[in-house]
Structure 1
Amino acid sequence: MDKNAKMLKKVRVMADYQFGKGCGDILFPDDVTFQLSRTKRIRQIMVSGKRIATVRAKDGTFTLSMDAATAIHDHIPAPGSRVTVCDDAVPFVSKGKTTFAKHVTAIDPELRSGDEVIVVDENDTVIATGQLMLSPEEIEALDTGAAVDVRCGCEQ
């Protein structure tokens, strides 16, 4: 097995663990390319020169591009990996602004603080991707504070 095939197998297993079975094959086709760090660790995974995911150095998990978030959204049934926001917040969140707890109308109860999430509107349309800052219980109990640190929105 060549080095690229080994790396491909590794990132597919990582994606299956982080997002659920089958997500690795969906996110990373056979023609992906890898950008490595100076220490030869995988940093970015690209398809046709476009970033799909980045491996976070601090914990080895993926951060997603909008294309990757949409692919996972299409694969995982609701409410999996999703944070739903009210219509009032959609214009701001889709531009990459922080999602606040008071704007969250629904959330996947299986999520944990620190997870990479897909932010959707009331119609289950992907509007952003980011990192969950609070647990689902905290978001439901609190009416203040940042719920999702949005990395990229669909209008950026």
Structure 2
Amino acid sequence: MNNDSERLSRVRMIADYQFGKGTGKELFPDGSTFQLSRTKRVRQVLYSGKRIATARAKDGFFTLSIEGASIVHRLLPGKKLRVVVSDDAAPFVEAGKTAFAKHVIEIDPELRAGEEVLITDKKDRLLATGQLLLSPSEVLALDTGAAVDVRVGTASKREE
């Protein structure tokens, strides 16, 4: 595989699998560019010079930038891929701090530990993106410990 149209098709397929059917084309529009590893694997997907997603070396799934997360947030209905945190935790999560289990008030029950998630407030305002550390049932059952390892918050993005 060496041309960009094949790469684009491949990253769209992975995104459709990871985030839901139809998200690949929206997340990675025509004109997306790629940053490759030394072994010519896709490492980052960029659009208009901005990083949309990075491929994880261990499994090929994507971690999202705030730009990528906002696209997925806009596309997915209701509570899909969402971890909803309480109002008192929202400013900290938005600043890029860890989301703790005791602050989670709602969570998509279909999520699995290790998945990329969107963290929102009660009004479904995107606060951050990160990796879920526990299963949804564990998150809701526990009063201590980290629930989501926040990768980047929307507030930390605004300060750049």
Shorter-normalised TM-score: what interval?
over 0.9
Alignment of structure 1 residues 1-156 onto 2, 5 Å: 3-156=3-156
Amino acid aligned to 1:59: D
Cα RMSD (Å): 1.1
Residues 100-143 of structure 1, C-alpha deviations (whole Å, 9 max, x = no match): 00000000000000000000001000000000000001011111
SS at match of 1:16: helix
Deviation, structure 1 residue 49: 0.8
CA distance in 2, matches of 1:64, 1:118: 9
Work out the CA distance in 1 between the residues paired with 2:28 and 2:130: 19
SS of the residue corresponding to residue 110 of structure 2 reads coil
1:2: Cα distance to partner? 7.1
How many residues align? The count is: 156
Cα separation, 1, equivalents of 2:105 and 2:140: 9
Higher alpha-carbon deviation: 70-79 or 108-117: 70-79
Q: How far has the Cα of 1:58 moved from its partner?
A: 1.2
Give the C-alpha shift of residue 78 in structure 1: 1.4
Letter in 1 for 2:48: S
Structure 1 distance, partners of 2:148, 2:92, is: 13
| CA distance in 2 between partners of 1:91 and 1:149 (Å) | 15
Percent of matched pairs sharing the same residue:
62
Residue identity in the other structure for 1:145: G
SS at match of 1:155: helix
CA distance in 1, matches of 2:108, 2:147: 13
Structure 1 runs not aligned, ≥5 long = none
Q: Distance in 2 between matches of 1:66 and 1:122?
A: 19
